[in-house]
Amino acid sequence: MSHAPLIEVRLRNIRLEAEGIASYEFVPVNGTPLPAFTAGAHIDLHLPREMVRSYSLVNAPSDAGRYVVAVQRDPQGRGGSAWMHEAPRVSDRFRISAPSNDFALAEDARQSVFIAGGIGITPVMSMLRRLDALGRDWKLHYASRAPEQTAFIDELRSLQRHDDQVAFCFGATREARLSIRAIVEAAPRDAHLYCCGPGRMIEDFLDACAARPAAQVHYERFSASSEAATEGGFEVVLKKSGQRFEIAPGKTILDTLLDHQVDVQYSCSAGVCGTCRTGVIDGQPDHRDDYLTDEEKRENRSIMVCCSGARSKTLVLDL
């Protein structure tokens, strides 16, 4: 669990960006400067009931006096997005982490090509603003269900310097079909390519980019490529407290820990953000996340409890 000091901020504005998507502008409390951030960065927002959620910063890195995030309401989620759409009021205070970046922008690229799906546009917005400030060339392909469900659509249209710089694809009307392979094949060989969106979009993107240099291919997942381990049938032992819990079928380790009021930090619940990373003392994890490297998974020294399980009958955690 991270013990880095949290930052107190005030909610200055809430704005409806599209159907089911709202943006939230946070500013410092008592004039305390906010830490600088780079394009593609995110913050962890601490909510009631010990919920922690990671949200990408959508404003420009040069916009140093505020942080802006956008949240899509997810009826199938764990309650964080629903709370954000129902409870906050302007002037409310929140606690947040300092920004961190797992989806960094290559600022010196001759051309940058972006593919975004739905709420996956959020990290891309800060990247486009940064590239504009640098005078760099970029193109965006943005897939969503319909214009009224497309966040930042008017702003993106205003950013266009030429007609084909932003291409929208609306699935509900089938006016166009997003061909990820065609986009990748049309990109210059030295272009940097970025993708953020649903799992299927990410898999298609990685498949299309297989022949590209890895350093030029960038992506960020909102959900892990593997399904969470919910088979159960093993025991988790907490080394520090001595507590022992049977993981029942249909439950993840995180579900079980929360059911028993164990203090464990988590955010995405999908194995992509790293917030719930927990040390492993003994046992063999069944890794289902997309955060740990292959080498880290082989070492079996840590586990993402939100989605991973156990291959051994007992898993001893550093909790």
Can you tell me the distance from the alpha carbon of 180 to that of 203, in angstroms, rounded to the nearest whole number? 10
Are residues 250 and 211 part of one domain?
no
Nearest Cα to 193, choosing from 177, 178, 214? 214
Within a domain: residue 261? yes
Can you tell me the distance from the alpha carbon of 309 to that of 228, in angstroms, rounded to the nearest whole number? 8
Are residues 201 and 297 part of one domain?
no
What is the end-to-end Cα distance of the chain in Å, rounded? 9
Q: What pLDDT shows up at residue 177?
A: 65
Q: What pLDDT shows up at residue 171?
A: 80
Are residues 238 and 216 part of one domain?
no
Q: What pLDDT shows up at residue 263?
A: 86
Q: What pLDDT shows up at residue 190?
A: 97
The per-residue pLDDT string of the chain (319 residues; one tens digit each, 9 = 90 and over) reads 445 689 999 999 999 999 999 999 999 998 889 999 999 999 999 998 778 888 999 999 999 899 999 999 987 666 789 999 999 999 999 999 999 998 999 999 999 999 999 999 999 999 999 999 999 999 999 999 899 999 999 999 998 888 789 999 988 665 556 899 999 999 999 999 999 998 889 999 999 999 999 999 999 987 666 778 889 999 999 999 999 999 999 999 999 999 999 988 877 777 877 888 999 999 999 999 888 888 999 999 999 999 999 999 999 999 9
Can you tell me the distance from the alpha carbon of 106 to that of 88, in angstroms, rounded to the nearest whole number? 35
Q: Residue 319 in contact with residue 264, Cβ under 8 Å?
A: yes
Can you tell me the distance from the alpha carbon of 203 to that of 81, in angstroms, rounded to the nearest whole number? 25
Q: Residue 290 in contact with residue 271, Cβ under 8 Å?
A: yes
Q: What pLDDT shows up at residue 2?
A: 46
Are residues 289 and 240 part of one domain?
yes
Q: Residue 47 in contact with residue 33, Cβ under 8 Å?
A: no
Are residues 138 and 76 part of one domain?
no
Within a domain: residue 125? yes
What single DSSP character describes residue 295? H
CATH of the domain at 124: 3.40.50.80
User: Which of the listed residues 179, 200, 221 is the one where a domain comes to its end?
Assistant: 221
In the structure encoding, which two tokens stand for residue 298, read together?
């082989």
Q: What pLDDT shows up at residue 69?
A: 98
Can you tell me the distance from the alpha carbon of 243 to that of 253, in angstroms, rounded to the nearest whole number? 13
CATH of the domain at 17: 2.40.30.10
Q: Which residues contact 282 (CB under 8 A, 6 or more apart)?
A: 314, 315, 316
Within a domain: residue 229? no
111 bridge partner residues: 137
CATH of the domain at 247: 3.10.20.30
Are residues 209 and 160 part of one domain?
yes
In terms of residue numbers, what domain contains 152?
111-221
Are residues 24 and 63 part of one domain?
yes
Residue matched to tokens 């166009």: 176
User: Which of the listed residues 40, 70, 96 is the one where a domain comes to its end?
Assistant: 96
Are residues 126 and 62 part of one domain?
no
Q: Residue 93 in contact with residue 10, Cβ under 8 Å?
A: yes
Q: Residue 69 in contact with residue 56, Cβ under 8 Å?
A: yes
Within a domain: residue 185? yes
Are residues 117 and 46 part of one domain?
no
User: Which of the listed residues 43, 68, 96 is the one where a domain comes to its end?
Assistant: 96
Q: What pLDDT shows up at residue 76?
A: 67
Within a domain: residue 174? yes
Can you tell me the distance from the alpha carbon of 128 to that of 140, in angstroms, rounded to the nearest whole number? 9
Within a domain: residue 38? yes
Q: Considering its fold, how many domains does the chain have in total? A: 3
Can you tell me the distance from the alpha carbon of 56 to that of 235, in angstroms, rounded to the nearest whole number? 35
Q: What pLDDT shows up at residue 164?
A: 86
Q: What pLDDT shows up at residue 210?
A: 97
